[in-house]
Amino acid sequence: MPKRDRLQPLQVYRFLPRTNCKECGLSGCMPFAFALISREKTPQDCPPLLQPQFAEQLQFLSRAFGAGEVQESGLLIDRERCNGCGDCVVVCNRALGTMVYSGVVSQRGNNEEEKVSPVLQIVDGLVKVINWQGCKRCASPPNLCRVCEEKCPFGALELVR
């Protein structure tokens, strides 16, 4: 099964009423498109989109941005697509143990003090975030790692924030 095609902001914008009315609390429809993609807003947060003439657009956007629940981590897990294969867990654990310093790759976790706690785990057949603070995305400065999302063969994981 192919990974889910990610909608880009301009594609989302084309499904919006494009009134720039600011009724959603944002400065216009393009910022609203970005907020939909990052799951900060839902399609129902756009009052003009709720009007009958935009019913098809609302239905499309609700399907595109309604599945799954965004964790505090910004990781969206689509439970309908996840089959618990564990590929994301394996690549995440490898990525956590790999550090790059000035172009040199080194492995962490060779001794007890350097062991890194896993971020993801398969629980009851589905992936679950168990230690988000251990993710490279939470480091200071953050590393915008996406290996879990990229490795998922079913498109069940999406980093939205």
Residue 156 scores a pLDDT above 90: no
Rounded to an integer, the average pLDDT of 68-88 is 78
The answer on pLDDT for 2 being more than 70 is no
Mean pLDDT value across residues 116-140? 85
Sequence-distant (6+) residues with CB within 8 A of 135 are 73, 92, 96, 119, 145
- Return the structure tokens found at 45: 């947060």
Domain boundary assignment for the chain: 9-66, 78-159
Stretch among 35-39, 50-54, 65-69, 135-139 having the lowest mean pLDDT? 65-69
Asked if 88 contacts 95 with a C-beta cutoff of 8 angstroms, the reply is: no
Region for residue 28 given its phi and psi (left: phi exceeds 0; alpha: psi -120 to 50; beta: otherwise)? left
Provide the CATH number for the domain formed by 9-66 in this structure: 1.10.15.40
Inform me whether the pLDDT recorded for 114 exceeds 80.
no
Dihedral sign (CA 108, 112, 114, 116)? positive
Residues 6+ apart with CB under 8 A from 79: 68, 126, 156
Query: What's the pLDDT at 142?
Result: 76
Whether pLDDT at 88 is above 80: yes
Q: Which of 108-112, 128-132, 151-155 has the lowest mean pLDDT?
A: 108-112
Q: What is the pLDDT of residue 1?
A: 31
Higher pLDDT, 31 or 101: 31
Q: Does residue 28 register a pLDDT over 90? A: yes
Worst-scoring range by mean pLDDT, 17-21, 66-70, 99-103, 150-154? 99-103
The amino acid present at 77, given as its one-letter code, is: I
pLDDT exceeds cutoff 50 at 59: yes
61-68, long-range: CB < 8 A, 24+ apart: 61/12, 61/15, 61/16, 61/36, 64/7, 64/12, 65/36, 65/37, 65/39, 66/42, 68/158
Q: Considering only CA atoms, which of 139, 140, 128 is closest in space to residue 148?
A: 128
What mean pLDDT, rounded, does the chain reach? Answer: 80
Is the confidence at residue 61, as pLDDT, over 60? yes
> What pLDDT score was predicted for residue 32?
94
